Amino acid sequence: MTEICDENSPRFITNVHTTLSTITDGQAVPPIHEALALKTLLPKEHLMDSGYTASEYLVNSKTDHDVEIIGPVRPDPSWQAKAGQGFDTTNFVVDWDNQVVTCPQGHKSTKWIPRSDVKGQAIIDIRFLGSTCRACPVRSKCTKSKTQPRELSIQSPARQMALQSRRQQQQTPEWKETYNQRAGIEATHSQGIRRSALRRSRYIGLVKTHLQHILIASALNLVRLDAWLSEIPFAKTRSCDLNDNLAKRSRNTSLCTRTTYSSKL
């Protein structure tokens, strides 16, 4: 579901997209934006969770629909980035025009090899000269290999820059405050589950199930319109005492992560 999250308007659901269980979260991004475009309801910012924020979607959404996806990207998986002490990709300077990468010690790469990953996305493999790397005084911060030189794999220019930019943005308090609004879609799911059994399909088949989801969303919009016209304020988030919960050991609890997203017009 996609909903409006502006403070001064009803939280209307603007789009419902139903997929097969085999479809990944990210694959839903293009059809969602296409559907919103047909309704002239494209947002300037679309708040999504990390399942929808692969670099290609960050770039394509902005290029194709002028929509900025606001959501966290996965952190750099390299051991250098995790340790916070070695030289990760951000410590290297990429000269896209000349297809050369310069390491933190000022040495330039000797190989620039374009290829495609398993998803068909453009990847560039970077390799430095072996003799140079073996003689480097800070080699331990760059690679764990005893003999091989440092190797890097980077994405295409637009995707790589979008990825690095987002990793920096999502560490700032301002970005986190904006992204916190995405949590509101959880209330929408809760409302749909409690009022209309959103999690349970009454029918067999994708088409009928999608129709059910549309009808549920339409009903929720009517409920929200009535609340807005009746000047009923948004409910506050319920909280509970952690110690009290821990004391009630007889209660079985579980944590779940929902794939959800919201939009900001």
Q: What single string gives the DSSP state of each residue in 199-251? A: TS-SSSSHHHHHHHHHHHHHHHHHHHHHHHHTTPPPPPPP---HHHHHH-TTS
Task: Give residue 106's region: left, alpha or beta (phi > 0; psi -120 to 50).
Answer: left
Domain span at residue 113 reads 79-157
- How many domains does the structure of the chain reveal? 2
Contact call for residues 71 and 47 (beta carbons, < 8 A): yes
Same domain, 177 and 197: yes
Q: What mean pLDDT is reported for the chain?
A: 88
Percent of the chain whose pLDDT exceeds 70: 89
- pLDDT of res. 6: 84
Domain for residue 250, yes or no? Answer: no
| In a shared domain, residues 63 and 88 | no
Cα separation, 91 vs 18, whole angstroms = 42
Other beta carbons within 10 Å of 234:
13
Write the burial class of residue 157 (CB in 10 Å: 0-12 exposed, 13-18 middle, 19+ buried): middle
The mean pLDDT of 71-97, rounded to a whole number, is: 92
Beta strands at 93-95 and 68-70: parallel, antiparallel or unpaired: unpaired
Measured in degrees and rounded to the nearest 5, phi and psi for residue 14 equal: -100, -15
Does residue 182 sit in the same domain as residue 260? yes
Looking at residue 186, what is its pLDDT? 86
The pTM is what? 0.81
- Whether residue 60 is found in the same domain as residue 119: no
In terms of domains, do 65 and 85 share one? Answer: no
Question: What is the distance between the alpha carbons of residues 152 and 245, in angstroms, rounded to a whole number?
Answer: 47
Establish if 244 belongs to a structural domain. Answer: no
Amino acid identity, position 233: P
* Contact yes or no for 62/45 (Cβ under 8 A): no
- Write out pLDDT tens, residues 24-49: 999 999 999 999 999 999 999 999 99
pLDDT digits over 190-221, tens only? 889 998 988 888 999 999 999 999 999 999 99
Could you say which DSSP state residue 75 is in? P
Query: What are the CB-based long-range contacts (under 8 Å, 24+) for 199-203?
Result: none
pLDDT tens column, 174-187: 999 999 999 888 88
Domain presence at residue 136: yes
Going by their DSSP bridges, the two strands 122-127 and 111-116 should be labelled as antiparallel
Any domain includes 241:
no
Instruction: Clarify whether residues 139 and 59 are in a common domain.
Output: no
Nearest to 50 by CA among 31, 30, 24: 24
pLDDT tier, 260 (very low <50, low <70, confident <90, very high otherwise): very low
Q: Are residues 180 and 61 in the same domain?
A: yes
pLDDT digits (tens, 9 = 90+) for 106-144: 999 999 999 998 888 899 999 999 999 999 999 999 999
Model pLDDT, residue 83: 85
Residues 205 and 83 in one domain: no
Q: Which residue bears the tokens 């930019």?
A: 165
Question: Rounded to 5 degrees, what are φ and ψ at 249?
Answer: -70, -15
Residue 171 has pLDDT above 80, yes or no: yes
Position 237 confidence tier, pLDDT thresholds 50, 70, 90: low
Residue 163, in any domain of the structure = no
Residues 176 and 259 in one domain: yes
127 plus 10 within the same structural domain: no
In a domain, 6, yes or no: yes
